Amino acid sequence: MKTKLVSIIIPTRNRALLLRRAINSILKQTFQDFEVIVVDDSSTDNTKEIIKFKDKRIRYFLKKRKPHNPASTRNDGIKKAKGEYVAFLDDDDEWLPEKLEKQMKVFSGNKNIIVVHSNYYLIKDDGVFKKGYKLKLEGNVSLKDFVYKGITPSTAIIKKKYLKKELFDENLNCAEDRELFIRISKYGEIAFCSEFLVNVYKHKKNTTLNLKNKIESEEYFIKKYLKELTEQKLLWIYFYRLGSLNISNKEFKKARTYFSRTIKLRPLFFRAYPYYVFAASLKIRK
């Protein structure tokens, strides 16, 4: 069997109908030299039956484990990939027909490019709200560039040889993609395709669980990159984010601590002061 040029990895769990839409959007691509790797993270619905397409390029793997971890699911897919390039598609998103073709052309124009990503549309549950996102991140980038910008996984195509060096960090349950791209960016250039080539769907989620994951991931990220964040004078930004997340999670004591650290590092960042006062004035959650 001929090795496929692009390996498309879809991590999934209990989203059978959405998964079918995602796979259909791949099969409709104008660029057809690919394989699809579906990594099922312990689904309990009919995912296995839903993906029975009559296309031998689709490979399905069921992983049974607890706790569920998106980073390890993606890593499983990377390890099974046969292509020279790897693309990611979240099971609830979909690609527009020329996505692969247009991004693969960008690679052919510059051998130093290791990642190509694109603009995307954000669509809410009701399907009415549709907005183009322009998160332009390109060239030789550093940690500082990822503070306010990022690469959405469903838009990215990556040269696999760099993913073999830098897998997703399985200690992260949230924002594992941001952390991976920070590490990968040291190997070469990132290219940005300004066209909108992906539909990213926004769903209602378990807010408490999501906040918990975000807080734990941000705390882990700070520990892992403490030296770089301190040297580049970015630490205050992450302290401020953690303060805000902890207020949302009603962890007021922790919020107060992080806003205090923000003010200490950035005294003229006046936005932090009222939040510090607010957190200090509320009853501390035990």
| Burial (Cβ within 10 Å: 0-12, 13-18, ≥19) of residue 216 | middle
Give 285's pLDDT tier (boundaries 50, 70, 90). Answer: very low
Q: Mind listing the pLDDT tens digit for each residue in 239-275?
A: 999 999 999 999 999 999 999 999 999 999 999 999 9
Type of residue found at 248: S
Q: Mind listing the pLDDT tens digit for each residue in 118-166?
A: 999 998 876 666 777 777 899 999 999 999 889 999 999 999 999 999 9
Domains contained in the chain, number: 2
- 58 and 176 inside one domain: yes
Quote the domain boundaries for residue 220.
207-281
236-241's contacts with Cβ under 8 Å and 24+ in sequence apart are 236/261, 236/262, 236/265, 236/266, 236/269, 237/147, 239/265, 240/269, 240/271, 240/272
- 250 and 193 inside one domain: no
pLDDT of 110 reads 87
- 233 and 191 inside one domain: no
- 117 and 77 inside one domain: yes
1 in a domain, yes or no?
Answer: no
126 in a domain, yes or no?
Answer: yes
Single out the residue in 167, 201, 235 at which a domain terminates: 201
Distance, in Å, from the CA atom of 24 to the CA atom of 20, rounded to the nearest integer, reads 6
Task: Enter the pTM of the model.
Answer: 0.91
- 34 and 106 inside one domain: yes
pLDDT at 108 over 60: yes
- 81 and 143 inside one domain: yes
Distance, in Å, from the CA atom of 249 to the CA atom of 207, rounded to the nearest integer, reads 9
- 260 and 178 inside one domain: no
- 228 and 91 inside one domain: no
The CATH number given to whatever domain includes residue 115 is 3.90.550.10
100 in a domain, yes or no?
Answer: yes
